[in-house]
Amino acid sequence: MKNQMSRGEFIRLGGLSLTGALMSNIVFANDIFSGNSITKEDSELIKKLIDSNDAKVKSILNKTVTDSAVKLSSFRGIAGSVTALTASVCHPKSEFYKSEILADKLNQAMDILLKEQYSDGTLDAGGNRQSPPDTAFILEYICPAAAILKHNKQESLQGLKDKLKKFILNAGEAMVTGGVHTPNHRWVVCAALASINSLYPATKYVKRIDEWLAEGIYMNEDGHYAERSGIYSAVIDKALITMARLLNRPQLLDIVNKNLKTYFYYTEPNGDMVTVDSKRQDQFMNLKVTNFYLQYRYMAVVTKNPMFAYMVNAIEKLPEFENSILSGSLVHFMENEELQKQISVKASVPDDFEKFFAVSNLARIRRGKTSITLFGGNDHPVMIVSGRSSNPNFLMYRKGEAILKYMRLSTSFFRMGYFSSEGIEKEGNKYILKETKEADYYQPLAEEFRKPDGDYKLSESQDGRFWNKMDFDSRVKSNVKKQTTIIEITENNGTLSLDFKVVGPPNVEVTIEMCFKEGSNITGATLDEKKNYFLKSELGTLSMGSDKIQFGPGKAEHLNTENLDSEEYTYHQGSLRTSGEHVYITGFTPFHHKMIIS
């Protein structure tokens, strides 16, 4: 169920002027914008940022600037170089401070961007031609650089400042008039407009922001944006923080606050993020929480939330932190002084929780070292397309380094593919996942629909399995077959008891698939010639280092692991199988099997 703000709330959010007096809905609003905070600078972190940025600059200097005659498919690399070079040339503690070489390199980079910028202010990005939203993403790099340079007095940078201004004002026209593709694009464009307005104020920029904001920023009761995506939640949070700061609209931080709390629960102890419920491409990707670092840091400083402080500390300890954050963030710290401050609150979070996100149909359970994810929130009917949730993983289980990447279930019922639950029902500590599949046969067309030449409409079968020139909508269904799968998962202090039931036509193959982390040691199961494991009886064990997961007992009534994906995949020789150690439990309908994971 949607948790939409009222029309009045969005009129208020959209209509606040830059100079208007604001009354915040959040207790920390005055601290954010009053400038009265006396929190000390995190000097140790700033030094790391400078050193890492300088190291990145050295690598940039060792590369040849892209030939301006070459047509590029992406400009983020060049824009990223502009921010890194600008930060070092402007920071007094950088070894490249006031470097003429950097000034020259910056001018070369901006010459390329200006040459490739279309007359409407846009750039290309991959297959997106003359793209306003992709240009907005480039402005995320360029505007902070321009903000730092604006008050810089170095004579060698004057020409560069003029080029930046020209590029930004040109792009501003695209931001004022251009369209978007996806939900997050609206807020990226708005953030770009807010940044442009802070540099070169004009009412048209704020007016356009208000037009987008008047649509409303969707957030459900679970704290998710429309795309329910880790990639794009980080993007939106960053955009809303930019708007809140530069437009003096702290109410926007309420939304960020809720989303960042949700993603605390979506983060594994090693920084991996739960992405199984995403409606975008990351539902099949491995993401790290590093994308949220600047957002968590800013909100930790201004809200003094111990949860956010914990996330900042956790990200800073990840091995990816240096390459993902330190090497490219100095410019953002220089442009936004709040990021430079020490976090004044002690980090504190629970390591024992059970959190059920009822709208998303996802549960997250943490019992010390054990971490569990249950998912049953795909968009039905399941379609393989960006913007819809379709991941068949219904269970993930971790115990330290021992990782069950996913559990799936598939049957040979009309080759309709993997089980995809129609939601989750929670009863105490039990989670119930259920799906009914239906496949049809068709009767002859009634006389009024018949055509002598047999040239019928190309149409989709009523069960959605295939297309043919048979005018299915005009036919009566018959011989309808149904299959119902119920999976009951009961959690008790980190141990899972699973009860599988599959009923419908008899003698249908049922396959439970478990994929464990690559390199795991599997015992108790039999390995076949295709490197698949079958748990035929008793318990199996996965071990990785000193960590272990036990699972079973098993069953192996058939050895077929082919065509587990639906025809939507297999017709094109596609597969959802991933790398890892695969263990199978198999049987036939009517199927009933109980097992534990601990």
Q: pLDDT (tens digit, 9 = 90+) per residue, 290-302?
A: 999 999 999 999 9
Band of residue 570 on the pLDDT scale cut at 50, 70, 90: low
Spatial distance between the Cα atoms of 480 and 48, rounded to a whole number of angstroms: 66
How many H-runs (helices) and E-runs (strands) does the chain carry? 16, 21
**Tokens (6 digits) for 442:** 């068709």
Taking the model in full, what pTM does it have? 0.89
Q: Which of 541, 585, 578 shows the shortest CA–CA distance to 402?
A: 541
Cβ 302 vs Cβ 257: under 8 Å = no
Has residue 68 got a pLDDT over 70? no
Q: What is the DSSP letter of 413?
A: G
**Tokens (6 digits) for 162:** 């003029």
Strands (E), 443-476: 458-460, 467-469
Give the model's pLDDT for residue 189. 96
**Comparing 511 with 153, which gets the higher pLDDT?**
511
Q: What confidence tens digit (pLDDT) does each residue in 227-262 have?
A: 999 999 999 999 999 999 999 999 999 999 999 999
Spatial distance between the Cα atoms of 408 and 421, rounded to a whole number of angstroms: 11
Cβ 331 vs Cβ 87: under 8 Å = yes
Band of residue 22 on the pLDDT scale cut at 50, 70, 90: very low
Cβ 132 vs Cβ 196: under 8 Å = no
Give the model's pLDDT for residue 387. 86
Can you tell me the mean pLDDT for 422-432?
A: 97
Percent of the chain at pLDDT > 70 equals 91
Q: What confidence tens digit (pLDDT) does each residue in 190-215 have?
A: 999 999 999 999 999 999 999 999 99
Dihedral-angle region of residue 304 (phi above 0 means left; psi in -120 to 50 means alpha; beta otherwise): left
DSSP 3-state of 241: helix
Can you tell me the mean pLDDT for 43-62?
A: 94
Strands (E), 443-578: 458-460, 467-469, 477-492, 495-503, 509-516, 521-523, 526-527, 533-534, 540-544, 547-552
Length of the chain: 598
Give the model's pLDDT for residue 376. 96
Cβ neighbours of residue 527 under 8 Å, at least 6 residues apart?
A: 533
Among 23-27, 404-408, 542-546, where is mean pLDDT lowest?
23-27
Q: Are strands 547-552 and 430-442 parallel, antiparallel or unpaired?
A: unpaired
Q: Which residues pair with 436 in a beta bridge?
A: 484
Cα distances from 300 to residues 222, 261, 337, 556, in angstroms, run 21, 11, 14, 51
Cβ neighbours of residue 98 under 8 Å, at least 6 residues apart?
A: 89, 154, 156
Burial of 581 (0-12, 13-18, 19+ CB in 10 A): buried
Give the model's pLDDT for residue 9. 43
Give the model's pLDDT for residue 4. 46
Q: Which of 295, 319, 291 shows the shortest CA–CA distance to 305?
A: 295
